[in-house]
Copies of this chain bind each other. A is one copy, B any other.
Amino acid sequence: MRRIVAFLILAAVTFAAEEIRNSALAAGLKPIPSNQFEIDKLVDTDPENKLSRQKIELGKMLYFDPRLSSSNLISCNTCHNLGLGGDDNVPAAIGHLWTQNPKHLNSPTVYNAVFNEKQMWDGRFASLEEQAGGPMVNDAEMASSHELILERIEKIPGYQRLFKKVFGRINYISMPNVQKAIAAFERKLITPSPLDAYLLGEDDAITNQEKRGLTLFIQKGCTACHSGYGLGGGMQPFPLNGTYKYADIGGFTGNEQNLTRVPTLRNITQTEPYFHNGAVTTLKEAVTIMAQTQLGIELSPNETDDIVTFLETLKGKKPKIIYPDLPDYE
């Protein structure tokens, strides 16, 4: 008898796990595949920038190289720190001469950014390749210029050799190639998490409370914006309901169509402070406000807790990165 009860409970739990998984998939959540070949198919999608080991290695060097900034002090990794959540831990980015981002925009994470439909909060760049050229020449970020960047790279024999190997014989050191290499590295910054294991069929990869949180996440409508591989990354109107509590902070209200890029929820426990202006420090508060302004609902404290607990299943495994030994000037 005990055995039968145990079997029935197990069957019920398995059934529930299966049912929640199916709802999640039906709501548009997509798991990062578990094998590298499948992941590569997902991220190696730009026919103009096919990935190669050497290109990714070159991109890694450039990503970590502060000499791409006019001051020689700021690299891509300064604001998109791969040791943290792929961002900084400040409300608004701080760049050249300690200038705060003029629109008080919070740096988005570079991890899983390849899954974003568009890049930048206003979606003005279509791809990581396009985006990579932006911060380097922005006066409030790396404050460099295309001329200065290329001039410095030309003076570094190690880079000359690598660019030639990766991009062929003619005009191999160019801004499009610098951007392609950096984006190639960024395309590989993928962090599979327990949620992916669960969505791929492993019932016990997430706990019961986390499954409850996932169920609420679906039922309350969070998946309307937070879906796909990134659980976010698309463009949406903002705010949908009510008044945004922090509308007076910063000058950002979306692009001309009033659309704002939805942040990915992957590794969200590591990317505080939250929102496009970094005004909110806890996930609990962020979830509460999102429910109010985007869904027009009040969550109970228990519901909020369950959703926050679910969000922790999005903390992923980061790729191992050997810190680059940057080539020196001739």
Chain B proximity mask over A258-292: 1 for CB below 8 Å, otherwise 0:
00000000000110100000000000000000000
Q: Are B73 and A94 in contact, with the CB atoms below 8 A? A: yes
Q: Are A323 and B321 in contact, with the CB atoms below 8 A? A: yes
Closest B residue to A72 using CB positions: B89
In the assembled complex, the Cα of A15 lies from the Cα of B73 at a distance in Å of: 47
Closest B residue to A81 using CB positions: B66
Q: Which residue of B71, B81, B88, B323 is within 8 Å of A322 (Cβ)?
A: B323
In the assembled complex, the Cα of A320 lies from the Cα of B66 at a distance in Å of: 19
Report B-chain residues with C-beta under 8 Å of the C-beta of A90: 71-73
Closest B residue to A329 using CB positions: B272
Known: A71-B94, A98-B98. A64 touches B83 (CB 8 A): yes
Report B-chain residues with C-beta under 8 Å of the C-beta of A272: 329
Secondary structure of the A contact surface, majority rule:
loop
Q: Are B78 and A73 in contact, with the CB atoms below 8 A? A: yes
Known: A72-B89, A97-B98. A325 touches B318 (CB 8 A): yes
Q: Is A65 an interface residue (CB 8 A)?
A: yes
Count chain A residues whose beta carbon lies closer than 8 angstroms to a beta carbon of B. 33
Residues of A within 8 A of B (CB): 61, 64-67, 71-73, 78, 81-85, 88-90, 94, 97-98, 269-270, 272, 318, 320-326, 328-329
Report B-chain residues with C-beta under 8 Å of the C-beta of A326: 83-84
Q: Are A324 and B94 in contact, with the CB atoms below 8 A? A: no
In the assembled complex, the Cα of A198 lies from the Cα of B145 at a distance in Å of: 43
In the assembled complex, the Cα of A64 lies from the Cα of B323 at a distance in Å of: 11
Report B-chain residues with C-beta under 8 Å of the C-beta of A78: 73
Q: Which 4 A-B pairs have the closest CB atoms?
A: A98-B98, A321-B323, A72-B89, A83-B326
How far in angstroms is the closest Cβ of chain B from A222? 22
Known: A78-B73, A322-B320, A322-B322. A328 touches B85 (CB 8 A): yes
In the assembled complex, the Cα of A329 lies from the Cα of B72 at a distance in Å of: 30
In the assembled complex, the Cα of A235 lies from the Cα of B65 at a distance in Å of: 33
Report B-chain residues with C-beta under 8 Å of the C-beta of A81: 66
Q: Which residue of B67, B72, B270, B324 is within 8 Å of A328 (Cβ)?
A: B270
In the assembled complex, the Cα of A328 lies from the Cα of B271 at a distance in Å of: 9
